[in-house]
Amino acid sequence: MTTVKIFPDINAIAGELAELLFGLASTPGKQPIHIALSGGNTPKLIFNYLAETYGTKLANKRFHFWWGDERCVPPADDECNYKWTYELWLKPIGIAFENIHRIEGERMPEEEAIRYSQQISHWLPVSNSIPRFDLNLLGLGDDGHTASIFPTNMELLHSENWCEVASHPITGQKRVTLTGRVINNSSAIVFVATGSGKAQMIKNVAIDSKSEFPASHIHPSSGEAIWLIDNDAAGLI
């Protein structure tokens, strides 16, 4: 099932995401809550708002932070998804290092894909014989990619591995990405997209589910995919 929620701006989207996180934190028990975060530019605004608006209220010790994909660059590189997440949100609210599981983009991509898969297997519970994230936050690329599953490597949707190495179709930049089976096994999948530039692709993927776009194939095996978009991104639906 796909649910599309439309908001006036990115801050309102961030507020909705905060409510989802508070909801996760209030689930019974003390077991870790595993959250995979997306990269790119959209989340930077969200993370900054979460840090400024909620501060340590979201610094729940049960939260373990992972990434849906990472560029194969050092952690200090401006291209690094982890860097921005840490600097804008996790560091300001004091998330402990042991709760942060970054993809080590400075390693050999193939080696890191294996190492990260092993970390996922070590930490995450399993359902359907696949590791299960509690929440998977995803973005949508202009070409319909999500995480680093691009139209040029759709086979990663069905890989038997938890992580794979991908290449950006234009820049050739190497990435390590979660694969489609792991993403779809998440208990909750939340896409965030803003701006009129995403409107056509959102219609293609969230409404028309056009199979040529990787994000069209992202549907939790149980549960729902929630799209949090702004008015501009909702322009064609």
The verdict on 221 binding ligand 6PG (CB under 6 A) reads: no
- Which 3 state secondary structure label does DSSP give 192? strand
The nearest distance, CB 24 to ligand 6PG, in angstroms, is 21
Spatial contact of 124 and 131, defined as CB atoms under 8 Å apart: yes
Site string for ligand 6PG, 62-91 (x = CB under 6 A): ------xx-----------x----------
Of 21, 24, 33, 38, which lies in the binding site for ligand 6PG, with binding defined by CB under 6 A?
A: 38
DSSP type of residue 55: G
The nearest distance, CB 13 to ligand 6PG, in angstroms, is 12
> Which residue stretch of 82-90, 112-120, 135-143, 201-209 sits at the interface with ligand 6PG (rule: CB under 6 A)?
135-143
Give the torsion sign (CA, 219, 224, 228, 231): positive
The verdict on 230 binding ligand 6PG (CB under 6 A) reads: no
The verdict on 48 binding ligand 6PG (CB under 6 A) reads: no
Residue type at 211 in one-letter notation: S
3-state secondary structure 61-76: CCEEEEECEEECCCCC
Of 51, 88, 103, 147, which lies in the binding site for ligand 6PG, with binding defined by CB under 6 A?
A: 147
Q: At a CB cut-off of 8 Å and minimum separation 6, what does 85 contact?
A: 37, 39, 43, 47, 65, 67
